[in-house]
Chains A and B, each alone.
Chain A
């Protein structure tokens, strides 16, 4: 499935840049392919939002939960508080950086969960037994029929909201798409001639899956993951918005948007910063996924 990249070398490769410059200098303007541009822009947007969050593990301008009653609702500016303060005098930038930890770790964990669960169940359904396949179809049907918000609410009430719980419930609500995709791809790949040949040579199911099927579906998985990453970030933010995320006063992006709800006139910056962060990273993931899809020439 992986076709040869249209463009030699990886984005950011120094030789590549030199080549491009020389081409441009020699007058024959050879533009970067759209897919490369999309991959670079997408990655940059994700990095832009992720970098401050990573910095927050070592350094924060202020304690994100410290209230300062002499500085309530300070607007953003070149003062002490770059992005201003909220209704309790907490520094918005610090809360944004610290809140990103929650939002991003939930997203990453949930994506890992969905990927592994969906892949394993999809492959099992494709290779081992009609009953399992049928059972999984039914399970998927039930899962789609039950509002996932109910499943999420019940699990949160059961185990209590934490980063891990959130990742678990969000991961559980999206596995069906992956399992279905893996199942159909595995069946298609399994009918190819080289797989029949491998099987005739005595290769086991496990070997066929790990050596032939998985590498071939990997590009699809990666692209699907970029889409999922975006939707998981949005889902986490709406759960936090409903007050079902991590507990107060700890920040998360969705919680910050919710905090700013009563101050849309007097403190618009409280919700703008987290909403923009979510927007940029989700957009970045979408653009990156789009670029990868173009590069690997997928439907």
Chain B
């Protein structure tokens, strides 16, 4: 167990460092320098040079990377370019900006994952128990449909239905508990489709196993068999799926955040790339990489807890 975790953590640190290098190089590959983007078209060459010097962009790139790493270790991510209008004035701290946007994205993510679990797991379980019944067929057809239609289009219809026609839910922005509902449902849709099918397949597979027959033969109550034996063993692939989903969260949230005007990290990332806001990109991406790595370590630990056989993996 310890070896497994150590291995994951070491791999995690290496991944993280290489991610920092890659992001640093990648943002500088995008054509258009941030000073010119900030100053628009009417800037003189001297002004652009002055700003570049101010931001340290005139240094050789390896030197810039050294300074970035040194500052990052001290907890200083630099000032955002896009949120500072007067050159030379102290701008918005990039780390502060990102941390400020983080709660909105986490709220959206957590609510959408909860919605997915609450809808997909019970339905998948019942479908597995009543295989080939009308219930199973209906649920599976619906999940196929939901997984095939672009979720942003369904999100638009939800806005139309709940926001415009019924007028009971807000359609954009954030603030109250009801604001998160529509974006979270939209974000959850493709995942519900995947989780539902996976739950059904896994529970159906586990129910075939010999230890289930044994458990039944021992005269255990069917709910005990289902919860203590079947569900527990079916959980492992489901946990992987959840981990991957949480880790790769930024990908899915961008579209939903844009559609609903949700003030989260996904939109900040898009805006920052458009404004060539190096400091913000250099915080958002490593942060999401850290989240991915941490979640994966947690997933591996969860495996060990769920299935003792997994603890024996050697370094």
CB–CB A278/B11 < 8 A: no
A158-B30, A242-B270 given; A286·B148 CB < 8 A: yes
Alpha-carbon distance between A283 and B14 when the two chains are bound, in angstroms: 40
Contact indicator A230/B148 (Cβ below 8 Å) = yes
Residues of chain B within 8 A (CB-CB) of A162 are: none
Q: Which residues of A contact B15 (CB under 8 A)?
A: 138, 141-142, 145
Question: Given contacts A146-B23, A146-B285, A149-B269, are A141 and B11 in contact (CB under 8 A)?
Answer: yes
Q: Flag A123-160 by CB within 8 Å of B: 1 or 0 each.
A: 00000000000000010011011111111011001100
Contact with A along B275-300 (1 / 0, CB 8 A): 00000010001001100110000000
Rounded to whole Å, the gap between the CB of B182 and the closest CB of chain A is 13
Which one of A154, A257, A271 lies within 8 Å of B29 (CB-CB)? A154
B254 proximity list for chain A (CB < 8 A):
149, 242
- Of listed A150, A157, A234, A265, residue having the most chain B CB within 10 A: A150
Report A-chain residues with C-beta under 8 Å of the C-beta of B14.
138
Is A161 an interface residue when CB atoms closer than 8 A count as contact?
no
**B159 in complex: contacting residue of A142, A260, A264, A286, CB < 8 Å:** A264
Partner of B164, one of A234, A260, A265: A265
Q: Among A142, A151, A241, A257, which residue has the most Cβ atoms of chain B within 10 A?
A: A142
Min CB–CB distance B29 → chain A (angstroms)? 6
Pairwise interchain contact A147-B150, C-beta atoms closer than 8 A: no
Residue B22 is within 8 A (CB to CB) of chain A in the complex: yes
Contact indicator B19/A271 (Cβ below 8 Å): no
> Which residues does chain B contribute within 8 Å of A138, judged by CB atoms?
11, 14-15, 18
The CA of A7 and the CA of B29, in the complex, are separated in Å by 55
Tell me which of A145, A151, A276 contacts B16 (CB under 8 A): A145
Determine if A150 and B23 form an interchain contact, defined as CB atoms under 8 angstroms apart. Answer: yes
Contact residues of B: prevailing secondary structure: helix
State which of B153, B190, B269, B288 has its C-beta within 8 Å of the C-beta of A257.
Answer: B153
Quote the shortest CB–CB distance from A151 to chain B (angstroms). 8
CB contact between A241 and one of B16, B145, B255 (< 8 Å): that residue: B255
Count of residues in A whose CB is under 8 Å from the partner chain: 38
Is the Cβ of A242 less than 8 Å from the Cβ of B258?
yes
Residues A278 and B150 in contact, CB atoms below 8 Å apart: yes
Indicate whether B156 reaches chain A with its CB closer than 8 angstroms: yes
A108 CB → nearest B CB, Å: 18
Look across to chain B and name the residue whose beta carbon is closest to the beta carbon of A141. B15
Q: Does A275 contact B (CB under 8 A)?
A: yes
- Distance (Å) between the CB of B39 and the closest chain A CB? 19
Bound complex: CA of A238 vs CA of B187, how far in Å? 13
| Stretch of B63-71, B80-88, B107-115, B245-253 contacting A (4+ beta carbons < 8 Å) | B245-253
Q: Which of A254-280 contact B (CB under 8 A)?
A: 254, 257, 260-261, 264-265, 268, 271, 275-276, 278-280
A114 to chain B, nearest CB (A): 16
Contacts of B251 in A (CB 8 A): 147-149
Q: In the bound complex, what is the Cα–Cα distance between A282 and B190 (angstroms)?
A: 13
Alpha-carbon gap, A60 to B30, bound state (A): 38
Q: Are B273 and A153 in contact (CB under 8 A)?
A: yes
Let me know if A36 is at the binding interface, CB within 8 A: no
Q: Taking the nearest CB of chain B, how far is it from the CB of A73, in angstroms? A: 16
B44 to chain A, nearest CB (A): 25
Tell me if A220 is interfacial: C-beta within 8 Å of chain B.
no
A237 at the interface (CB under 8 A from B): yes
Chain A, 22-78, CB within 8 A of any chain B CB: none
> Is B160 positioned at the interface, with any CB of A under 8 Å from its CB?
yes
Given A264-B159, A264-B160, A147 contacting B18 (CB threshold 8 A):
no
Separation of A149 and B274 alpha carbons in the complex (Å): 13
Report A-chain residues with C-beta under 8 Å of the C-beta of B121.
Answer: none
Tell yes or no: B31 within 8 A of A by CB.
yes
**Counting chain A CB atoms within 10 Å of each CB, which of B19, B31, B251 scores highest?**
B251
Chain B residues packing against A (C-beta within 8 Å):
11, 14-16, 18-19, 22-23, 26-27, 29-31, 144-145, 147-150, 152-153, 156-157, 159-160, 164, 190, 244, 247-248, 250-251, 254-255, 258-259, 266, 269-270, 273, 281, 285, 288-289, 292-293
A-B contacts, 28 of them at CB < 8 A, read A145-B15, A145-B247, A146-B22, A146-B23, A146-B285, A147-B250, A150-B23, A150-B26, A154-B26, A154-B29, A154-B273, A157-B30, A230-B148, A237-B150, A242-B254, A254-B150, A257-B150, A257-B153, A261-B156, A264-B156, A264-B157, A264-B159, A264-B164, A268-B160, A275-B150, A278-B153, A280-B148, A283-B148
